[in-house]
């Protein structure tokens, strides 16, 4: 998809005389020489590793009653050492796909080893502690081998750890354990930046959003929903500001920060609609939702398709909801559209002024 768009743009620039034909051909050849972001062989290798690791975990779960304890422990430790040494050798030879598969087996085998030792020697502890230790070991492995595959495993383990907590504590807040979900998400994001496993960042962002949604189920108060809406929109604005430190982090993370910030805001507005069902507050909430959608499009719509489409859906859903729930006549509907248009025009005017100011400051810095 991107290659086709790039080829069309290069042809357009060549036709307008902005770029030479040889230069365009060189640029396209350079892009074709890059390693593909998607490789069926790598995907199949990862799936094979997951299946083999699942087989190992099932064998561990069977207790191996007929095999002596020391033999069982020695076998699982030998497997862990073997796959990591094999991964190191594969990396030295440049066989990254095979190395990633071995590292996945190694990371999964650590969990099997922890469970096996706990089963055999009846060690005290609980599932939550096992998940923390498993995540920590996967994190260390991802750092030592700079492995994107193990980073993905760590991301899934963070989800599994949060799920184990919710199951064991019946979704209630108990102690400091609930804070581990955002801590693990932050660690996963750091691993993504270190290993380059860009797609794994979505696991961390989705875990944070799931954690926030769980917080709302604990309290179900309008103040929590309002915090989601306001906090999400503040993050949307911050990701658009040309602040040196923030802008560099946002650019390196791609479209994800702005999209997930607006997703949190959209969830907040949805929860507010659940709390507020009628009256003038509903009209104000509707106009605020429309204004937030327009602001998100104005700030990120040009370069961020995910934000743009989410804002389109939010705007359209809000208009349909207001028209169907709060308006009972044609005159009322026209009034709604009138006020909505005025709000959108006001937001557009503010955004235009901000864009001009940012553009002027950027030109001044270049000068």
pLDDT in tens, the chain (367 residues): 555 666 677 777 777 777 777 777 777 677 666 555 545 556 666 666 667 666 666 666 565 566 666 776 777 777 778 888 888 888 888 777 778 888 888 888 787 777 666 655 554 557 788 888 889 988 998 898 888 888 988 999 999 899 988 888 877 888 888 899 999 999 999 998 888 888 888 899 999 999 998 988 888 788 888 999 999 999 888 887 766 666 666 666 677 888 888 899 999 999 988 888 777 788 788 888 888 888 888 888 777 778 888 888 888 788 777 766 655 555 555 666 666 667 667 766 766 666 666 566 555 555 5
Q: Same domain, yes or no, for 210 and 244?
A: no
> Does 274 share its domain with 198?
no
Q: Which residue has the tokens 């907590």?
A: 165
Last residue of a domain, one of 191, 219, 247: 219
**Domain boundary residue among 219, 245, 275?**
219
Whether residue 257 sits in one domain with residue 175: no
Is residue 312, in this structure, part of any structural domain at all?
A: yes
DSSP string of 184-221, one letter each residue: HHHHHHHHHHHH--GGGHHHHHHHHHHHHHHHHHHH--
Where in the sequence is the domain holding 77, given as residue range(s)? 70-219
CA-angle at 280, arms to 279 and 286, nearest 5°? 100
Claim to verify: residue 349 and residue 325 sit in the same structural domain: yes
Number of domains in the chain: 2
In a domain, 233, yes or no: yes
C-alpha distances (whole Å) from 176 to each of 15, 186, 214, 217, 286 are: 63, 16, 15, 18, 37
Residue 267 located in a structural domain: yes
Output 249-256 pairs: Cβ under 8 A, ≥24 positions apart.
252/193, 253/201, 254/198, 255/303, 255/304, 255/305, 255/306, 255/307, 256/201, 256/202, 256/205
Residue 3 covered by a domain: no
Q: Are residues 122 and 262 in the same domain?
A: no
Do 85 and 214 belong together in one domain?
yes
Residue 34 lies in a domain: no
* 109 CB neighbour count, 10 Å cutoff: 23
Task: Name the residue among 214, 116, 213 with its Cα closest to residue 174.
Answer: 214
84 lies in the same domain as 209: yes
Residue whose C-alpha is closest to residue 233's, from 270, 273, 263: 263
DSSP state of 277: -
Residues 297 and 257 in one domain: yes
Do residues 348 and 298 lie in contact, with contact meaning Cβ atoms separated by under 8 Å?
A: yes
Alpha-carbon span 45 to 342, nearest angstrom: 56
In a domain, 363, yes or no: no
Q: Which residues of 284-296 are buried (b: 16+ CB within 10 A; e: fewer)?
A: ebbbbbbbbbbbb
Please check whether residues 111 and 243 belong to one and the same domain.
no
Alpha-carbon separation of residue 142 from 43, 58, 80, 103, 209 (angstroms): 18, 24, 15, 9, 24
On whether both 199 and 260 belong to a single domain, the answer is: no
**Nearest Cα residue to 339 out of 291, 279, 299:** 291
Q: Which of 175, 200, 219 is the last residue of a domain?
A: 219
Same domain, 99 and 208: yes
Spatial CB neighbours of 23, under 8 Å, sequence gap ≥ 6? none
CB 343 within 8 A of CB 287: yes
Does 270 share its domain with 313?
yes
DSSP letter, residue 178: G
- Determine, yes or no, domain membership for 359: no
362 assigned to some structural domain: no
Q: Are 324 and 330 in contact (CB under 8 A)?
A: no
CB neighbours of residue 238 within 10 Å: 15
Report the C-alpha gap between 196 and 117 in whole angstroms: 34
């Amino acid at each position: 998809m991107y290659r086709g768009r790039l080829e069309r743009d290069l042809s357009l620039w060549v036709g307008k005389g902005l770029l030479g034909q040889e230069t365009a051909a060189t640029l396209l050849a350079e892009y074709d020489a890059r390693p593909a972001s998607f490789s069926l062989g790598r995907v199949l290798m990862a799936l094979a590793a997951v299946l083999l690791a699942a087989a190992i975990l099932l064998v561990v779960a069977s207790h191996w009653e007929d095999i002596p304890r020391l033999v069982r422990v020695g076998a699982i430790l030998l497997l862990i050492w073997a796959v990591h040494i094999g991964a190191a050798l594969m990396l030295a030879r440049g066989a990254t796909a095979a190395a990633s598969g071995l590292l996945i087996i190694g990371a999964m085998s650590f969990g099997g080893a922890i469970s096996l030792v706990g089963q055999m020697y009846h060690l005290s502890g609980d599932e939550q502690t096992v998940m923390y230790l498993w995540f920590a070991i996967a994190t260390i492995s991802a750092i030592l081998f700079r492995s994107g595959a193990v980073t993905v495993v760590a991301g899934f383990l963070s989800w599994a750890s949060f799920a184990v907590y919710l199951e064991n504590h019946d979704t209630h807040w108990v102690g400091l354990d609930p804070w581990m979900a955002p801590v693990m998400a932050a660690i996963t994001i750091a691993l993504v930046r270190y290993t380059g496993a860009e797609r794994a960042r979505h696991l961390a962002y989705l875990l944070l959003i799931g954690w926030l949604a769980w917080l709302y189920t604990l309290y179900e108060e309008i103040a929590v929903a309002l915090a989601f809406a306001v906090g999400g929109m503040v993050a949307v604005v911050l990701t658009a500001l040309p602040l040196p430190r923030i802008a560099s982090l946002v650019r390196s993370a791609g479209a994800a920060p702005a999209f997930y910030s607006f997703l949190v805001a959209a969830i907040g507005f949805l929860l507010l609609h659940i709390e507020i069902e009628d009256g003038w507050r509903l009209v104000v909430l509707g106009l605020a939702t429309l204004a937030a959608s327009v602001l998100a499009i104005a700030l990120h719509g040009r370069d961020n398709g995910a934000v743009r489409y989410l804002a389109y859906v939010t705007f359209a859903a809000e208009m349909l909801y207001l028209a169907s729930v709060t308006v009972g006549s044609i005159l009322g509907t026209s009034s709604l559209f009138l006020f909505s248009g005025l709000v959108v025009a006001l937001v557009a005017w503010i955004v235009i002024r901000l864009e001009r100011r940012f553009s002027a400051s950027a030109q001044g810095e270049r000068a």
